Amino acid sequence: MINQNNDSTILTLNEQLLLDQISTLGNIGHEGSNKGRTRIALSDDEKLGRDQIVSWMKELDLDIQIDPIGNIFGTLNSNNQENQPLMMGSHIDTVKNAGALDGCYGVLSGLAVIRAFKDAQMLPSRPITVVAFTNEEGVRYQPDMMGSLVYAKGLELKTALATVGTDGTILKDELERIEYYGTFDSSKLIPFKYLELHIEQGPVLDSDKKEIGVVENLQGISWQKITIEGKANHAGTTPTRLRHDAGLAASLINVFVRDIALTTGTTLATIGALELEPNVINVIPNKVTFSLDIRDPNEQKLLDAEEKVKEYLRKLEIQEKVKISSQSLARFKPVQFDEKLASDIQESCDKLGFSNQRITSGAGHDAQMISRIAPSAMIFVPSRDGISHNPKEYTPDEQLIKGAKILLDVVLKHTK
């Protein structure tokens, strides 16, 4: 049994309901135990997820607002409506074949914190808002973290709405289709502070056996789309020296960026998506399009890696007789979170007796966007074996509850 009370706060989480909601939301778009769930942003299944969140916000009598990029804001009002709200949030879209926790855990814990206020019939000293940001994952529409980026004025709404998806759809059309193209002017809702509770999605807390990660900063991210054009030719008759093999050039790049990662020790490099053309067994590939994801907590090292790749692409064009073009899909500098808010999180951990450590976020999160407009910080709970973006993503229920308790405690500190 999970303990339903904790003496160190004056409010009580409905722990079982939080776990039940994580499970209910996780069943939307579920494709079987081996495949997890898939709720790509603005798909039919993600609409069902949104409808479920809105329905739970209604049960809590929240003021629900949808802005034109589809971000969903649910606000618990205060006696001091003129005060800026304390905001908690994350996202509910997923990658393909995802776990149930990435993003959803933060949104649903936000609702659980508000429920604790409602259950205690306690009015906060400032409004408390829970937000579910649109398209954090960036699977179909780039850049990722789009909803929070638009909200934080880092990307023009008009540009974001015109984004063409990997399936050729236009983002605004899909927002309208699923009925989440809202009219709320969210620029009027600037938070006092922003808190995001999330699973780590990496192996650090699990291997260090720590219960809570106090996230003090976040890696820089560089996403590129690289296109290589070679020449389609018969695989059996074209001498090696006369080939223009686009697929081989992509392989060489993959090996090259792995070497950068091994050399620096801090840089991460991944080719996650790749399409060959014509993709036929006995034809030398004439075209390849692939994504390159590079990250580093240090901006200079990230710049260095980008520059090395750029030089290598130029070299490869000559060596492999191919044409290479690259396009930036997303570029975010490393982010430093608000030190005061991080200290608050750490204090709450110490007060509640949860083991904790300072940590760098390897993944991108909506909090990095919101940190442009408000003091922000994040709370991490461990991911077993560091696995995420995978049906096997797992955090024990006890750990999920501990994370939500820290969130409640920090919120309470700022809204008593």
Binding mask 161-180 for a copy of itself (x = CB under 8 A): --------------------
Which residue lies nearer to a copy of itself by CB, 164 or 280? 280
Which residues does 263 contact at the CB level (< 8 Å), separation at least 6? none
Interacting residue with a copy of itself among 117, 181, 194, 223 (CB under 8 A)? 223
Which residues does 128 contact at the CB level (< 8 Å), separation at least 6? 75, 76, 78, 85, 86, 87, 88, 113, 114, 117, 411, 415
Q: How far is the CB of 210 from a copy of itself (least distance, A)?
A: 15
Rounded to the nearest 10 degrees, the angle between the axes of helix 44-59 and helix 104-119 is 10
The count of residues interacting with a copy of itself (CB under 8 A) is: 68
Binding mask 193-222 for a copy of itself (x = CB under 8 A): -------xxxx---------------x-x-
- Residue 226 binds to a copy of itself (criterion: CB under 8 A): no
**Beta pairing, strands 86-91 & 323-332:** unpaired
Q: What stretch of H or E contains 18?
A: helix 15-26
Interacting residue with a copy of itself among 17, 19, 329, 373 (CB under 8 A)? 329
Strand boundaries in 184-322, DSSP class E: 193-199, 212-218, 220-229, 268-270, 274-277, 287-296
Q: Which two tokens stand for residue 168?
A: 């050729």
Interacting residue with a copy of itself among 34, 188, 282, 318 (CB under 8 A)? 282
Q: How far is the CB of 254 from a copy of itself (least distance, A)?
A: 4
Residue with tokens 């696995």: 387
Q: How far is the CB of 391 from a copy of itself (least distance, A)?
A: 9
- Residue 96 binds to a copy of itself (criterion: CB under 8 A): yes
Which residue lies nearer to a copy of itself by CB, 96 or 414? 96
DSSP string, 22-44: HHHHHTTTB--TTT-B---TTSH
CB count within 10 Å of CB 33 equals 8
Which residue lies nearer to a copy of itself by CB, 236 or 353? 236
Question: What's 8's DSSP letter?
Answer: T
Interacting residue with a copy of itself among 389, 395, 401, 407 (CB under 8 A)? 389
**Which residue type, as a one-letter code, is found at position 277?**
E
Which residue lies nearer to a copy of itself by CB, 27 or 279? 279
| Binding residues vs a copy of itself (CB under 8 A) | 95-97, 137-139, 142, 144, 200-203, 219, 221, 223, 231-240, 242, 245, 247-248, 250-252, 254-255, 258, 261-262, 268-276, 278-286, 291, 293, 295, 329, 361-364, 386-390
